[in-house]
Amino acid sequence: MDILLKSAKIIDEESAYHGAVKDILISDGVIKQISNHIAAEGVDKVLENTYISQGWTDSSVCFGEPGFEERETLENGMLTAQRSGFTHVLVNPLTHPVADNKQAVMYIKEKTKHFATTAHPIGALTVESKGEFLAELYDMQNGGAVAFGDYKKPMHNSNLLKIALQYTQPFGGIVISFPNDAKIMGKGVVNEHIESTRLGLKGIPALAEELCVARDLAILEYAGGKLHIPTISTAKSVALIEEAKNKGLDVTCSVAIHNIQFTDEVLEGFDTNYKVLPPLRDTENVKELRDALQRGAIDFVTSDHNPLDIELKFKEFDLASFGTIGLENVWGVLSQYTTVERAVTLLTSARKRFGIPTTPIAENTEADVTIFTPEGETVFTKEMILSASKNSAFIGATMKGKVLGIIAHRQAILNDGV
């Protein structure tokens, strides 16, 4: 299939064409020509006035399979990722059994190998994600795991985290440590602030996150290694990580797209789709997260996509599970809070961090690209949800721009109406 992008703006800092507006001819998944003008005769598909970048990467998604197929299968999860503009996704070990061994990692790789999007498993850091014993980290990396972490489960044993950072150094492994002190969190369900008091909901103090961030950074400074802190949500967490980077520590962090979009004021209606972990914070913290995106203090943005079936969400707020889907909404939200160039950086920089090869946009290279536009607005509705589970915090929210499609693995996936 031949696809011609007419007057496409190239956003790729690794490419010689960065910032240029060019015609781009892609034939059977290979970028054949980049020029000021390419004739459209004989071309199967022509797209005009688009943007193109290296393919986007989401550093935190859950697909359920194996074990939780009622929430999301690998097949439908990968189809959702493709339609949402991602050519690479890091798949959390939120499965049953937990992906804590090489065979489980290879299962995910094998089951998803035919899609345009590539799945990169995150192996569990500890056996069954129980936080007691380190899992088979080296074997899992040999099987295709790109990092190791226990999804939404903090490492209570400080010494085990230290050992993990030391153990992974010889083979360049990346440790993911979710920052949340369960004892301080207690039975909290929302951000501890004015809204939690007003609504009568138990609060989760920002301290529960910030204490773990400070501890993990102190351990990293002592032990060395590579640390990724996922889905931070407070201004102090940002400041602590910035300070650590200035010291030269090898640390990165991400923020979930819903923690950028919403403040805890949306909890007024007790909609359990807004029950997430870390919780939606107050206006002051959300403003700092948005500012940190622009100045580069936060390394990448994630959907933190977590499909949950109706039985886990359609219940009293206190009893509902934490989590929202969000793959479909990342671009539509992120484009509202930063420049196109910065947004693309936030959606592509995870590739280098997790050792995923990058391919600059150039002639005679296999395409691994996302095609999109920052123009236009739509209101996201339940009917637009591609995921099997419908637990979306974004229903009714305004999205800016649109994902037009991806081209990767010599496959072109174009969205409806393109």
Helices (H), 94-205: 102-111, 137-143, 158-167, 182-185, 194-199
b/e per residue, 185-201, with b = 16+ CB within 10 A?
beebbbbbbebbeeeeb
Q: Report how far residue 193's alpha carbon sits from residue 205's, in angstroms, rounded to the nearest whole number.
A: 8
305 SS3 class: strand
Sign of CA dihedral 271, 274, 279, 282: negative
Task: With beta carbons less than 8 A apart as the criterion, state whether 169 and 250 touch.
Answer: no
Distance separating alpha carbons of residues 229 and 224, to the nearest angstrom:
15
Phi and psi dihedrals of 75, rounded to 5? -60, -50
User: By the 8 A CB rule, do 353 and 245 touch?
Assistant: no
Supply the residues annotated as catalytic: 304
CA distance 45 to 28: 12
Q: What DSSP element (H or E) covers 122?
A: strand 118-123
3 state DSSP class of 290: helix
* In contact, 227 and 177? CB cutoff 8 Å: yes
Q: What is the largest CA-CA distance in the chain?
A: 66
Q: What's the rounded Cα separation, in Å, for the pair 276 and 305?
A: 11
Look up residue 200 and give its amino acid.
G
Nearest Cα to 280, choosing from 262, 268, 296, 294?
Answer: 262
Tracing tokens 């009714």 back to the chain, one arrives at 396
Which letter, b or e, does each residue of 75-88 get, where b requires 16 or more Cβ atoms within 10 Å of its Cβ? Answer: bbbbbbbbbbbbbb
d(CA 275, CA 126): 26
CB 367, CB 247: distance < 8 Å = no
Contacts of 335 (CB under 8 A, 6+ apart): 343, 374, 400, 401
